[in-house]
Structure 1
């Protein structure tokens, strides 16, 4: 016999309020996504005038055609994929060993080193000293300028250290040492295979950061052939703003018409590039979601 628990009025009210809140949150999150997708296949005149506010209007795929026909966008796509893969691998190589070492209770001086790491979260040398350091190392206009200064994140090291501390039993380490395993062999053969959740979380965090990054490229790169996709998108946005400002000025004749056409093209390409540049991250996330949730939650209820 199954016993059912009757909900009180306050419980039902609380449940209704939760559903209302979740519905509002869904609308807030979903509307920008639908708007961008609709704008990417709508006529620019309806988008700029505000007539298109939810669903496509003046259906056109010219924006995607311009994206696929533009060699700069494909070069930026290739560069971004390369920078993301190399940068994420470097981040994992630096972050995971550092986090594991700091999680070991027998590591002498870990408190001092962790304190030095924490200081860098609140104080940094600033943009100009960082630029001078990158320049003196000969990294200007190279991939090293984009990935080496951000090869590790202190916050991610702390998250990974908490995972190792709360998940990898000390007895497992002691048993491995009794069997003659070195620290390096213990880390590679035992610890890493047990750490797939945190590896997936770190790869996702670092990968999204590299994929969305444009400021280091703006500062350190001067060759357009090396620009990542986000820099190409930035150029499109700047072109659209300049075209809009020039078109709005006191200009008549063929010049105004030409600038207006450029503004429409930039508007078409802008939304299409946003969709194209977001697709890889959206496509990868479902495969990492299980590990992502597990990696974030582990350690959250432990000391």
Structure 2
């Protein structure tokens, strides 16, 4: 189903897709009607392509399919029915939508590094890109009976989408939690956000550059409350070593996002010079910064990939946390 939704824009509900997804439609008149005066060669008029397509999608709860239908059959009466159905789904989603978390304003000082939000678009196979920025800094976390704990924090903003996110990386001090580090994610969207809010964050990936293919951190992601997620990094020695190496050496984060509307997105976040410095400071404070780190060499094929292709690869993977 996920793959059908993703390719809805390029296939645009062509007749081949409709005929393969619909049961056969009987076109001949019934014997009873034929016996009541209908001519022997008469039969019911065949349905139009738009009518066949509408039969396939009229009961769907997926807004992306309805939008693709409207894009393809916008001049027909059935497009009006599809628009009414789409508005009905959006109204129901808005009514059931929980209150989004609120975040403080973006810091006014600090160097802004690059951020890009890539979203699925049923009318464009390449998707949509929205530019934003991130400010990295350290923050002190209060702990009971112990010195303040240092953490790495990122404040992310995508102004054109009304999306804000904070990401905080901490050392795990809870012995009952089988994780070496925890990442807290809080995502807030504007009231008119057409994605309906954030339903899930499957995990976190690290990559060598914006166009490279990301490698997942060994971690487990759970939803805490609406808009809030907790990602625990594996405490297994081999996983921990690999995770720390990628966090320190790879300059870009990928945060895959599933919206309530069933669309998917990727938030690509650059560490930049300020992020590198923040990570070095916190890992040094934790006594986990290696004496010498060898620069990681990205595979040559990674640097050749374009973002749309990587976006499609990442988005078509399952939504399970790595």
Superposition TM-score, scaled by structure 2 size: 0.23
Higher helix fraction (1 or 2)? 1
More RCO (CA 8 Å, sep 6+):
1
